[in-house]
Structure 1
């Protein structure tokens, strides 16, 4: 469900249906359901799909981590049929600010899902009163940096290993 600039929102808000570059139709929904679909998705992530220690490697740690995100954050999950294939979250840090984290199942990466997911998550964040979003990304993750810049994020701090980026909503 896209919105217009007239209603004060510049991002689409969930639910959002989208056909990726592989011709798969996915649904992006605000999520406050159970942890099991996320545990199943994150269990499939290999070492190359993990960054900054997340998602955790072992199922008990995945479950605990995902439960924390679901209880504390503003969550959007991407579904392909009945399978969770993406998850993005804004974790409030106070004063209308939140930290963004996004994950797309390895089989669904590089198909445009992440780019759309960020925009839908930002729209959901606007609905929830979030005014400022920041994230940390590895300087080596050039694909993610391009996606974040396309969504309006700007570099605020460059460290040896990571870049911090931010934007207002």
Structure 2
């Protein structure tokens, strides 16, 4: 199955898998772990993080603002998505997710057969501390272990720090649309 995107021919290197505890650049102990998008407590932890999310850090309209809209969005992406969170002192400080490009539950059971869209968000107080890199690497490692092969994302073309982060783990630029840069990676 092809989605029309150009994916790198060679898989990126392997990535670490959660759970893990890392120290960020500020010396904070950050726990990286998977969550179950179908679990009400895990979804509630995401809602709490996104309600605290600075609206000026939103990209391409997500995450939404307002608790009700955040809950609706989490309900949309959580059940079938693959999720890794960064936790500091019991609170979610960052979230990386892969959302399947299929509504067919049978297709999702075979993750190599579909493509997955990546989204990553880190609370402002934790940005520029390396947490995004850890989240991204551990999400890709977890996805790789589940059999995911093709991941893509879009990022605003002016967001050089995000593009640099994605390129540092193996994403390649593969297309553009107006103000968005499309990037893709192939996992082993």
TM-score by length of 2: 0.82
> 1:60 is matched with which residue?
68
* Cα distance between partner residues in 1 of 2:85 and 2:78: 11
- Ranges in structure 1 where 5+ consecutive residues have no aligned partner: 1-8
> Displacement of 1:129 after TM fit?
1.2
> 1:37 is matched with which residue?
45
Which residue of the other structure, out of 58, 62, 83, is the alignment partner of 1:50?
58
Which residue of the other structure, out of 124, 128, 142, is the alignment partner of 1:106?
124
Which shows bigger deviation, 111-120 or 40-49? 40-49
> 1:78 is matched with which residue?
86
* Cα distance between partner residues in 1 of 2:53 and 2:15: 28
Which shows bigger deviation, 116-125 or 87-96? 87-96
Q: Does 1:27 find its partner at 2:31? A: yes
Contact 2:54 2:123 in 1 (8 A): no
Q: Indicate the structure whose relative CO is greater, using CA pairs within 8 Å and at least 6 residues apart.
A: 2
- Ranges in structure 2 where 5+ consecutive residues have no aligned partner: 1-12, 103-112
Q: Does 1:143 find its partner at 2:161? A: yes
Report SS of the residue matched to 1:163: strand
Report SS of the residue matched to 2:101: strand
Cα deviation digits, residues 71-122 of structure 1 (max 9, x gap): 0200011110110001010112252321100011111000000011100000
The number of equivalent residue pairs is 161
RMSD: 1.2
TM-score by length of 1: 0.91
Which residue of the other structure, out of 11, 16, 22, is the alignment partner of 1:18?
22
Contact 1:96 1:129 in 2 (8 A): no
Q: Deviation above 4 Å: which 4+ runs of structure 1?
A: none
> 1:161 is matched with which residue?
179
